[in-house]
Amino acid sequence: MDPISKALERAQSEKPSARDWVRPTRPADNVEEEQSPRLEESSIETVDFDSEVLRNHHILCGDKLDDLVVRDRYRVLRTRVLQLMRQNHWKTLGVTSPGASAGKTLTSINLCMSLVVDSSNDVILLDADLRNSSLASDLGVPVQHGIVDYLASDELIPEDVLLQHTRTPNLKLFPGRRVGESATTPELLNSTRMAELIVTLRDQSESTIVVVDLPPVFVGDDVISLAPLLDCFLLLIDGTSTKIDELSEAVGILAEHNLLGTVLNKSEARGHTFGGYYQSGAPE
């Protein structure tokens, strides 16, 4: 039995399990007396995005002020990613890069913004870059609880507190940590709780797609640790700094875990932040 399967088997025998921590269960008797009323959708607190903050971070807003070239390129990326994921019945996508500052967080966000244009997709954007967590700050949203709280605490926290609902239809966020909070040990990612979290988010609904903003491949062993938990990957290339040997090694690592393709970013020749999508070989 592989290590992740063993970890999940152990987790199922623990009380409380990681799944119970996200979605607590109640005894069968006295359910009506003990169980809290189910949250109506209208009562769930949602976060809204400030369009000015999004534009300052080059994030698509879905209005007429978006750069049409960039928007269309993300649509192409979205369509190809969806085709491959649906073809293979995959629901979890990791986004990473060989090194830092390649634009993987920006690509993760804009890909999600493109995915939710189609209302048949329920998208969860998860910040798993605990070394340099920037998802919440880039989006300009407050964070009360993040993945660090989930992984490091035994406290039972309801699912609707952990997942941030947004006013963008069909988009939910799971930030890494509070804005301004110091970096936390990345070893938290290599845990039974992390494995259970991915499963819980993936199984939210049949239409759920989980996009995970990962650390760079060569920053610690975070991506290698998380790779068995995810269905497939996109690899971001910095057109101004990624070296050929780094790219080759990163592709070799991720090719074992369903690499959908590479995205060229910061392409000086094209003059746009998003350079294009290049498939590295259709998965089996």
DSSP string, 67-126: -HHHHHHHHHHHHHHHHHHHHHT--EEEEE-SSSSSSHHHHHHHHHHHHTTSTT-EEEEE
This prediction's pTM: 0.77
Amino acid identity, residue 146? G
Cross-strand partners of 95: 213, 234
Domains of the chain, residue spans: 69-279
- Count the Cβ atoms, other than its own, within 10 Å of residue 120: 10
Q: How far apart are CA 241 and CA 35, in angstroms?
A: 55
pLDDT in tens, the chain (284 residues): 554 555 445 444 444 433 333 333 333 344 343 343 333 444 456 877 878 888 888 888 877 778 888 889 999 999 999 999 999 999 999 999 998 878 899 999 999 999 998 878 999 999 999 888 888 888 888 887 788 878 877 766 566 667 888 888 899 999 887 655 555 666 788 888 889 889 989 998 899 999 999 999 998 888 998 999 999 999 999 877 888 888 999 998 888 899 999 998 866 554 444 444 444 433 33
> What would the CATH number be for the domain defined by 69-279?
3.40.50.300
Contact 149, 18 (CB under 8 A): no
What counts of helices (H) and strands (E) characterise the chain?
A: 12, 9
